[in-house]
Amino acid sequence: MYKLHYYPGNASVTPHMLLEELGADYELVYVDRDNQAHKCADYLALNPTGRIPVLEDGAMVISETAAICLHLADRHPEGRMVPEISTPERAKFYQWLMFFTNTVQTDFLVYFYAERYSTDTSDASEIKASAEARLMDYFRIIDAQLGKKGPYMMGKATSLLDFYLLMLSRWGRFLEVKPSTMKYLGKNVKLISERPSVVRAFEQEKLEAPFA
C-alpha cells in the first residue's frame, strides 16, 4: 500500500488525484504544516527539503511531485497516464510536464513565498507582482495549446498533465485573472474537476468549490 504525505490543496493534491484515478490502494498521512511538521526530524528524514509531498511505496521513499506522478503512472500502466514511450506524443508530454514543474510551479513558489526571494523583505510585493505577470503569460500559452489541441493537454486523451494542470489552475485562483476563466483552460478544468476520482480526492482533502 502506498502512503501519501499530504496537506490539503498542496502539491500533494496531484498524486492524490492520480491515486484515486488509478484505483490504487493507499493511505493518506496528514502533515501538520500549521505546526511545522514538515520541518521536523521525522519528516526531514523522508524528504530533506522539508517540502510536501512525499510518497512511500514499500521501502521506497519518493519526493518531487512530478517524479511521484511519473512513478505512479509507471506502476499502473493500465491507467494510460502517459503516452507510449518513444512516440511524438511522449516527447510533447515530457515538454509540458517539465514546463509545468520547472517553470509554472516554480513561479508559483516565487508568488506564494515572495519574501524568500530577497534579503530585503520590502521587495516582496514587487517580486510577487513580477511572478504574477509571468504566471499569466504561462497560462495564456497553456490556454492556446488547449485551443489548438484540446480538450486535454494531449488532445483527446487524458494524461497526468491534466491533473497537474488542475492543481496549478487551482493555485491560480488568487491571480487577478483566474486561469479557469480562460476559454480552453476553463473547459479543461471543468472536465477534470468533475471526474469522480477528483471529486473523491477533493472531498477527502475537504477542498471546496470553486476548485480553480
Binding site for ligand GSH (CB under 6 A): 10-11, 38, 50-52, 64-65, 101, 105, 109
**In the complex, least distance from residue 65 CB atom to ligand GSH, rounded to whole angstroms:** 4
CB of 204 to ligand GSH, least distance (A): 17
How, if at all, do strands 54-57 and 60-63 pair?
antiparallel
Shortest reach from residue 124's CB to ligand GSH, in Å:
15
Nearer to ligand GSH, 116 or 183 (CB): 116
Q: Which is nearer to ligand GSH, 87 or 204 (CB)?
A: 204
Q: How far is the CB of 161 from ligand GSH (least distance, A)?
A: 14
Least Cα distance to 201 among 60, 88, 62, 53 occurs for 53
Nearer to ligand GSH among residue 101 and residue 159 (C-beta): 101
User: Between 7 and 139, whose beta carbon lies closer to ligand GSH?
Assistant: 7
Extract long-range pairs of 145-152: CB within 8 Å, 24+ residues apart: 145/96, 146/184, 146/185, 146/187, 146/188, 147/183, 147/184, 150/184, 150/187, 150/188, 151/184, 151/187, 151/188, 151/191, 152/188, 152/191
